[in-house]
Structure 1
Amino acid sequence: MFSERQSLASTSLPKLALAAVLALALLHLSFTLSHHSRSTSFSATAQLPQPTDGGYIHGALFLLAASSTGIAFSMILVNHRSESLDGFVQLSKMFGIGVLLSTAWIHLLPSAFEQFSNPSLDPYWKEYGTNHVGLFALIATFIVQRIEFSAKNAMSQLNARLDARTSIQMESGDAPCEETPLIAPATSSSYPGNKEVTVVLLEIGILFHSAIMGVTLGVSPSDAFSKLIVPICFHQLFEGMALGVLVGGLNVSKSHKRVLWGLYPIATPIAVGIGAAIRSIYNPDSPAIILAQGILEALSAGILFYNTYVELMSEEVVHSLKFHTYSHGFKQVCFLAMYLGAASMAIVGIWV
């Protein structure tokens, strides 16, 4: 019976992952159509010095290697987890929290403000200006909170139905083995279904960010491309480590974890390839492109803010009984790991 509950709880993961891929595909399609419709007005952009096709391929491979290395580190860490490694896993999780927060504060939010303050935007969007950043981030937090609430409510109803079935079986003398409830009675975010949704939504926000970053890199001229590729590789490495540890901690099948682990490394290289394919018709001053980037970056920032503060920093640290059992010294080391994670991404923000 417990395996049935676990299976039912995790069936939404592939659907959410596929939804993320579909969203990215639609984003890239909108970019391509928008650029094509304006191709006659910015032929000068196509004359900028561009890296060779081999340079794009090598850059995409470097990004794939960096992202895969971060994810692989997390996979090895989680798959070989033992009591002796629990402390290191906790430090890695804290480092990841810092990385995700710094990504939202340093990489997403300022970029969204920059897009909504761009003078090329249509007058309608200029009227409310940079307030749109807060508006879309706020919308994202409301959406994420509602999705998590709906997921938790669905889990509660599922438990109620399965418990009723168990009661009927016990009354009829066909009682099953003792089971662990799908949703624990404790009031925390340790609900398996709730945590799964949280991590999937985090990955969706990260994938949006990776897509924008990859397309931007793909359409960059040669001098900017060569300067950006190294810091973006470090960005992907740190972010992959952070995401991988969270995915590894989910109570789902290995196949579902592989899907979530596999989506992240390929997102940015694919986006680089798409950017390289459309660079001859790319217009960085297109109002549609500026608006799309600003909205998606604000939404991604809202997703990362909500999930990192509410589901990770608060529930994994402040309200975690396990964390409070650690020694005072180890707690300080954990906080230091979080600050180092934030600092690492802040330093990368000098270039990216």
Structure 2
Amino acid sequence: MSTCESTRRDEEYNLSLHVGALFIVLGVSAGACVVPVTALRVPRVRIPLKVHFGFRHFGTGVLIATAFVHLLPTAFVSLTNPCLPPFFNEDYPALAGAIALAAVFLITIAEMAFSPVRPLRSVQTATESQELDALSHTSRPGRRKSHSGMSDEITSALSIPQFGQTRTGRSHGVMKTIDAPSTPDSARRHSTDSPLTTIEETGLGQQRKKLLTQCVLLECGILFHSIFIGLALAVAVGGEQIILLIAIVFHQTFEGLALGSRIAAVDWNPNAIQPWLMAVAYGCTTPLGQAIGIATRNLYDPGSATGLLVVGTFNAFSAGLLAYTSLVDLLNEDFLSDHSWKTLRGTKRIVAMSLVIFGAFCMSLIGAWA
């Protein structure tokens, strides 16, 4: 078995600088993640909706670049290091890619098993069918009916719910319904119990759970590698520490804004503390890694065989998790879903995609140092 030489340098360890760096990273990380959440949940803090739009799409690019430029290459470098046994660098140098692929499959299976968003079953009682028929007959004369007896607008509302954001960050359903003036008083009185209302409420609940699932997956992928970012900074010395600190500050800022904008998009209850806890968890993870690194600076060696295997494995798994979530749950939903083609059009779509590319470029640039 090959042995790895220590990567510790003989330069003096500046403890005060490392402690200061811990608080700098803590403030930057927590602040960047909390800003989008605060802006949408605290009425006194007013940030233009265009800024939230920018955070959202810029952050998508940041997360994609984090997976493909930061984590996956680092995993390959760690797991193919020449000091590791031949299995890693000669027999199967593609191990990092296999671990990332395994993470993608595991997340896919988990989403299939536990995803709250499933097709609505069109099971109706006779009473529900009669109510729908009554509603369709009250629509304006001459309106074309669908095969089920419902007007085109009602059919559209049943099949394509659309969701937006209010100033307070609460999601609201925008659904087409029949015109109020043509609806009898009896129909209005029962509208809150109608199948349309039930389906709309179900769609809103499913959308909220879907956004929450995305946030949890993103946070898990980010937190896994944040610990090792902190460890790497904690054991760096001299000029390397300064360069790495600057790069990590930008890294944490971009990543925090990306995660915070997704957390803020969830339809949280007004008094919910979960969004704040998620933001604080992100803010504290990298500093926690720094604290562990400072405390074990004479024991932990990132260049040791154990260090390389642990860092490489976790980075590869995080890369797979972030790659899946950022591409399938974020990029695909924002630009390729049916809903996106109805809400993101023309110049707005071009600007959004440009922001994604710009976010990926910025995070890729930082990848040269961190």
Give TM class, smaller chain: 0.7 to 0.9
In the TM superposition, residue 127 of structure 1 has moved relative to its aligned partner by 4.5
Q: Residues 138 and 302 of structure 1 are in contact (CA less than 8 Å); yes or no, is this contact kept in structure 2?
A: yes
From 126, 137, 160, give the equivalent of 2:100. Answer: 137
Work out the percentage of aligned pairs sharing the same amino acid: 27
User: Using a 3 Å threshold, how does the CA distance of structure 1 residues 343 and 94 change in structure 2: closer, same or farther?
Assistant: same
Matches within 5 A, 1:237-276: 237-253=253-269, 254-276=272-294
Q: Figure out how many residues of one structure are paired with residues of the other and give that number.
A: 296
Deviation string for 1:127-169 (max 9, x for gaps)?
44331111111110111111111222x6769x99xx99xx9xx
Who is 2:237 aligned against?
A: 221
Who is 1:26 aligned against?
A: none
* Residue 334 of structure 2 is aligned to residue 334 of structure 1: no
Who is 1:74 aligned against?
A: 36
Matches within 5 A, 1:52-201: 52-79=14-41, 85-152=48-115, 178=193, 180=198, 183-184=202-203, 191-201=207-217
In the TM superposition, residue 222 of structure 1 has moved relative to its aligned partner by 2.5
| d(CA) in 2 for partners of 1:183, 1:151 | 17
AA aligned to 1:115 is: S
AA aligned to 2:98 is: L
Deviation string for 1:63-87 (max 9, x for gaps)?
0111122113212332268999444
* Residue 328 of structure 2 is aligned to residue 310 of structure 1: yes
Unaligned runs of 5+ in 2: 129-189
Q: Residues 46 and 282 of structure 1 are in contact (CA less than 8 Å); yes or no, is this contact kept in structure 2?
A: no
Return the structure number with greater helix share.
1
Who is 2:317 aligned against?
A: 299
In the TM superposition, residue 343 of structure 1 has moved relative to its aligned partner by 1.2
| d(CA) in 1 for partners of 2:107, 2:52 | 26
| d(CA) in 2 for partners of 1:346, 1:142 | 26
* Residue 283 of structure 2 is aligned to residue 283 of structure 1: no
Who is 1:48 aligned against?
A: 10
Scaled by the length of structure 1, the TM-score of the pair is 0.75
In the TM superposition, residue 90 of structure 1 has moved relative to its aligned partner by 2.5
| d(CA) in 2 for partners of 1:273, 1:309 | 33
| d(CA) in 2 for partners of 1:320, 1:92 | 22
Unaligned runs of 5+ in 1: 1-37, 168-174
Task: Calculate the aligned-residue CA RMSD, in Å.
Answer: 3.2
In the TM superposition, residue 180 of structure 1 has moved relative to its aligned partner by 4.7
Q: Residues 214 and 272 of structure 1 are in contact (CA less than 8 Å); yes or no, is this contact kept in structure 2?
A: yes
Who is 2:368 aligned against?
A: 350
In the TM superposition, residue 278 of structure 1 has moved relative to its aligned partner by 1.2
| d(CA) in 2 for partners of 1:275, 1:282 | 7
Who is 1:6 aligned against?
A: none
User: Using a 3 Å threshold, how does the CA distance of structure 1 residues 263 and 84 change in structure 2: closer, same or farther?
Assistant: closer
Work out which of the two has the higher radius of gyration on C-alpha atoms and give 1 or 2: 2
| SS of equivalent to 1:281 | coil
Q: Residues 78 and 245 of structure 1 are in contact (CA less than 8 Å); yes or no, is this contact kept in structure 2?
A: no
Q: Residues 80 and 88 of structure 2 are in contact (CA less than 8 Å); yes or no, is this contact kept in structure 1?
A: no
Q: Residues 93 and 245 of structure 1 are in contact (CA less than 8 Å); yes or no, is this contact kept in structure 2?
A: yes
Scaled by the length of structure 2, the TM-score of the pair is 0.72
